[in-house]
Structure 1
Amino acid sequence: MKIKFLFLLSLLYLFPSYATSRQPQDIRQEKQMMFGDTSRTGVPFSKDPHVVYFGERYLMYYSIPPMKGVENSGWNIGIAESEDLITWGKIGEIVPDPQAEYERNGLCAPGALVRDGMVHLFYQTYGNGRDDAICHAFSEDGIHFERNATNPIFKAEGDWNCGRAIDAEVYEFNNQYYLYFATRDPDFRIQMLGVAVASKETSFDRDDWIQPVDAPILFPELAWEGECIEGASITIQNDRMYMFYAGAYNNWPQQVGVAVSDDGLVWKRLFDEPFLPNGKPGEWNESESGHPHIFTDFDGRTYLFFQGNNNKGKSWYISNKEVFWKEGLPSF
């Protein structure tokens, strides 16, 4: 026993960073994230996660439901922070700006990016049907946001859709920004994905965006996708774009698929079956594993955040799983 103890001490002396450098990785592998915001309804209810690393901590933006007992409170956005991607604490909310008529009914489904020392947030209006659109705000601290004066910055165009635009994901690739959004067909039945682009120098204003493809870039075709594809989220691996997306409407069950693209416009599915399926009977995500966000950390590791529940949407938790890459294919 004494020999073993001295051996361990020698390891710490020779490699003093061994114990600390391993700790974050061990925490992420051994503990499961289970985050549920109870502040609005008294039960865990958090959806549509999106994570950035900013201000030496992780920030997660997510949708929260109307405040119980408060008339016309609407869907809003919660903000939580973490040091390890596992344990999260709520630090703020983003509620409608009283001067912004376009978001008076609510706002949700956030997407974010960090550029030039600021967090840029893209979110949708809620409760306006075909008129729901994408808005933009920016922040120096990641908590208090100023609205873009040209909001809403994007609404879908073309005869193939109903005009609605939700679930924004903005990502830089090939010296321009791609805005992926979900919309519906003119009959407001089938949910699908479209794309707009802006220059690398964009201020994300309304006039900066154009739709390079007059058609959906991804449309539900597989049986498990039902009548819906939404919630696109992007990572870059080996100079290719990988999109993690939600297939089927909430609790059908919604599950997660993956597609790949070399130009951001033409997409091909990697798998015919869900990459992340809903849970088995009795598991916490039995009703769905949905609305993914693939987060790329500063060390290159990737984590798939997603929402789930086992009671057909009476509550919602957010969790994550690390994604590994080999020969262009993701796995858990």
Structure 2
Amino acid sequence: MKTFTNPVFQENFPDPGAILAGGTWYAYGTNNATQNVPILTSPDLVTWTPAGDALPEVGKWAERGNTWAPEVIAGDGGYLLYYTARSTATDRQCIGVAYAKTPEGPFADDSAEPLICQAGEGGSIDASPYRDLGGSLYLYWKNDGNAIGQSTYLYGSRLSDDGRKLTGKTVRLLVNDAAWENHVIEAPQMVAHDGKLYLFYSANAFDKDVYAMGYAECDGPLGPCRKAAENPILKTSPAAAGPGHSFLVTTPAGETWLLYHAWPPDAIGSVAPGRQLWLDRVDWAGGRPMVQGPTADPQPVPR
């Protein structure tokens, strides 16, 4: 039996989002010193190879240097990349959308304005797209309220068919009202499993060992959503500190796995090695997801 051991990428790669295209996994992460959106590629979710910068230039509404938490989805005849960057007009983090014909890019954002910019609520970050079984697109994100001492909400909205603008009402789905979440909830991802909808998210201070991950069950793509009583379902272990900003993937064999970042316990807040990329299996029991991790021992590779 072939096995692997975490972390699956030992360099700094925060806030992973991933997509499977043409038999290759592509992971997109928060900016580093030279790249706006670094890409990793993998044949198996375990062996990852750097593959350049997916977004060589941010939109003209933004400046370089704070390009966070990108996620990609197939759409509009190619691929759409939703990313966070610093708006020059508001000096807040805002959300843009860029387009490319291929998942490796280069993506380009030709918009004069960001897609979402809740400047009065601290800004907008952590955009995550979702396509339902009927083909409709939705987007989820967080207002950056903790940047200005306000509450943080996870928002959702329907997207246009081409994925380039919001349509209909914007809904507040969750707020940071649980003790373990403290001042912030962020990093939403909507996932469908066995006919149910789950909104996964992370909470608390990203640069401390209290950062962790939870989820809520939702009645529809725009809620209402109810937080799970057993939250958090992923938290610090002796091998991984502050695990979070997760992304669930389903393999072609139907297995569910979780990509997430975590600090080495002796290097929390470091630039190097920084937040490394981890991978652990997710099991489902009684309609509830259970993360089998953080796991530092050898475990079977995904099928």
User: What is the TM-score normalised by the length of structure 1?
Assistant: 0.76
Structure 2's unaligned 5+ residue stretches are 293-303
Distance 1:289 1:179, change over 3 A: same
Task: Tell me the CA shift for residue 308 of structure 1.
Answer: 0.5
The aligned amino acid for 1:49 is P
The answer as to 2:153 corresponding to 1:192 is: yes
Task: Tell me the CA shift for residue 51 of structure 1.
Answer: 1.1
Secondary structure of 2:27 counterpart: strand
CA contact under 8 A between 2:126 and 2:141: conserved in structure 1? yes
Residue number among 231, 237, 258 corresponding to 1:279 in the alignment:
237
CA–CA distance in structure 2, aligned partners of residues 254 and 238 of structure 1 = 28
The answer as to 2:7 corresponding to 1:34 is: yes
Larger deviation, residues 54-63 vs 110-119: 110-119
CA contact under 8 A between 1:257 and 1:271: conserved in structure 2? no
The answer as to 2:42 corresponding to 1:82 is: yes
User: 2:82 is matched with which residue?
Assistant: 122
User: 2:227 is matched with which residue?
Assistant: 269
Distance 1:316 1:241, change over 3 A: same
User: 2:191 is matched with which residue?
Assistant: 235
CA contact under 8 A between 1:148 and 1:205: conserved in structure 2? no
Distance 1:203 1:156, change over 3 A: same
Q: How does 1:144-293 map onto structure 2 within 5 Å? A: 144-150=105-111, 152-156=113-117, 162=121, 164-173=123-132, 175-185=135-145, 188-189=148-149, 190-199=151-160, 202-206=161-165, 208-213=166-171, 216-252=172-208, 253-264=210-221, 265-280=223-238, 283=239, 285-286=240-241, 288-293=242-247
User: 1:61 is matched with which residue?
Assistant: 28
User: What is the TM-score normalised by the length of structure 2?
Assistant: 0.83
Larger relative contact order (C-alpha < 8 A, sep ≥ 6)? Answer: 2
Distance 1:238 1:139, change over 3 A: same
CA–CA distance in structure 1, aligned partners of residues 285 and 192 of structure 2 = 14
User: 2:94 is matched with which residue?
Assistant: 133
Task: Tell me the CA shift for residue 101 of structure 1.
Answer: 4.3
Residue number among 279, 283, 291 corresponding to 1:320 in the alignment:
279
Task: Tell me the CA shift for residue 298 of structure 1.
Answer: 3.0
CA–CA distance in structure 2, aligned partners of residues 211 and 101 of structure 1 = 24
CA contact under 8 A between 1:45 and 1:64: conserved in structure 2? no
CA–CA distance in structure 2, aligned partners of residues 45 and 105 of structure 1 = 16
CA contact under 8 A between 2:122 and 2:147: conserved in structure 1? no
Larger deviation, residues 118-127 vs 44-53: 118-127
CA contact under 8 A between 2:76 and 2:162: conserved in structure 1? no
CA–CA distance in structure 1, aligned partners of residues 243 and 59 of structure 2 = 36
CA–CA distance in structure 1, aligned partners of residues 232 and 108 of structure 2 = 37
User: RMSD of the alignment, in Å?
Assistant: 2.6
CA–CA distance in structure 1, aligned partners of residues 59 and 276 of structure 2 = 32
CA contact under 8 A between 1:110 and 1:123: conserved in structure 2? yes
Larger radius of gyration: 1
CA contact under 8 A between 2:199 and 2:216: conserved in structure 1? yes
CA–CA distance in structure 2, aligned partners of residues 101 and 33 of structure 1 = 38
Number of aligned residues: 281
CA–CA distance in structure 1, aligned partners of residues 257 and 103 of structure 2 = 21
CA–CA distance in structure 1, aligned partners of residues 191 and 60 of structure 2 = 32
CA–CA distance in structure 2, aligned partners of residues 209 and 103 of structure 1 = 26
Deviations 1:113-148 (A, max 9, x none): 124763321111147676321111222232223424
CA–CA distance in structure 1, aligned partners of residues 237 and 250 of structure 2 = 24
Structure 1's unaligned 5+ residue stretches are 1-25, 38-43, 68-74
Question: Which structure shows the higher helix fraction?
Answer: 1
User: 1:298 is matched with which residue?
Assistant: 252
Deviations 1:215-250 (A, max 9, x none): x31111221111010001121012221121101121
Larger deviation, residues 231-240 vs 253-262: 231-240
The aligned amino acid for 1:255 is A
Question: Which structure shows the higher strand fraction?
Answer: 2
The aligned amino acid for 2:217 is V
Secondary structure of 2:180 counterpart: helix
Task: Tell me the CA shift for residue 103 of structure 1.
Answer: 3.7
Distance 1:218 1:156, change over 3 A: farther
